Amino acid sequence: MLRKSQTSGLEKVLNRTPAKVIAVTSGKGGVGKTNIAANVSISLAADGNKVMLLDADLGLANVDVLLGLQPKFNLSHVVSGECDLDSTVIEGPQRLKIVPASSGNFSMLDLPSASQAAIIQAFSTLAEQPDVLVVDTAAGISEGVARFVQAAQQAIVVVCDEPASLTDAYALIKVFSREYGIRRFQIVTNQTRDAWEGRILYTKLRKVADLYLDVVLRHLGNVPMDPWLRRAVQEQRAVVDAYPRSVSGQAFKDIARSLQQIPAAMRASGNIEFFLERLLAAGPVRAGGIA
């Protein structure tokens, strides 16, 4: 028989609204992935959601730099036992909660299982669980990135109108679908001249994917080139916060609204700790299942 304290704890888990977990990734660096993760997160928070942004580029983190924040602690301090996870959480615009990672600490790129388990346990003890967890992954097709995308409920791939970006985005989708069983991808086109050019870019990617891959792509939105966005980056501010009426600011808000229309997947408890447990257990999909 469960004790009263155990029963109340179980009820809290079962009654908690499932968190929507979104991974933002890209085939190559320099396409604006972190800018999109940060601005979309702030837009979601501005709409009344409790949002947490996890900087999952564990060795080359830069969310805090982008937003002009100076965290005292980050995930590497949690792993080393120097602080708890709540001590790393910093607040950004619109009360966005940010979990920073470390920059230049390459030991974080290949964490042993015990350290990963410590992070999972840390997330389960967070004082406040969010409605939405946005995960800003590293760029590329590494196994670590794939695990984050595989464990999330929604995968956003950022692509811009450059041959290398288009090729690398296709390679990422190909590897993640064939090796990790990820079949659905939300595509955000970035740094285009206008929405029409973004649509053409998305269509190029979708046509090739339709020919050779068993995947479903959806054009989530387009962020056009905007001098106000460049200015916000130079000022280390989010454009949706600094210049909300700019064309890029409006584009980020539109993407956030589109994301909110996607239902949260109901998997087990749907909590952040369960997302990280899936992350730890995730592996390449082979003929016999998950390796």
pLDDT tens, residue by residue, 12-59: 443 456 678 899 999 999 999 999 999 999 999 999 999 999 998 876
Residue with tokens 């109901």: 266
Res. 115 pLDDT band, cuts 50 70 90: low
Region 84-100: mean pLDDT is 93
Residue 291, pLDDT above cutoff 50: no
Q: How high is the pLDDT of residue 3?
A: 47
Predicted confidence (pLDDT) at residue 284 exceeds the cutoff of 80: no
Query: What's the mean pLDDT when you consider all of the chain?
Result: 84
Pull the structure tokens for residue 182. Answer: 């990820």
- Quick check: 94 and 46 in contact, CB under 8 A? yes
CATH number at residue 189: 3.40.50.300
pLDDT of residue 8: 41
Instruction: Tell me if 205 is assigned to some domain.
Output: yes
**Lowest mean per-residue pLDDT among 14-18, 77-81, 238-242:** 14-18
In a domain, 125, yes or no: no
User: Quick check: is 235 in a domain?
Assistant: yes
Residue 195 lies in a domain: yes
Place 243 in a pLDDT band, splitting at 50, 70 and 90.
very high
Mean pLDDT of the 176-188 span: 94
- 202-217 per-position pLDDT tens digit: 999 999 999 999 999 9
The answer as to whether 111 is a domain residue is: no
Percent of the chain with pLDDT over 90: 59
Residue 116 counted as domain residue: no
In a domain, 14, yes or no: no
The HSE-up count of residue 135 (CA atoms within 13 Å, CB side) is 28
pLDDT for position 201: 97
Domain annotation covers residue 47: yes
Average pLDDT in the 245-268 region? 86
Region 153-158: mean pLDDT is 95
- Band (pLDDT 50/70/90 cuts) for residue 283 is low
- Give how many domains the chain has, as a whole number: 1
Residues spanned by the domain of 224: 19-56+131-262+269-278
pLDDT at 167: 96
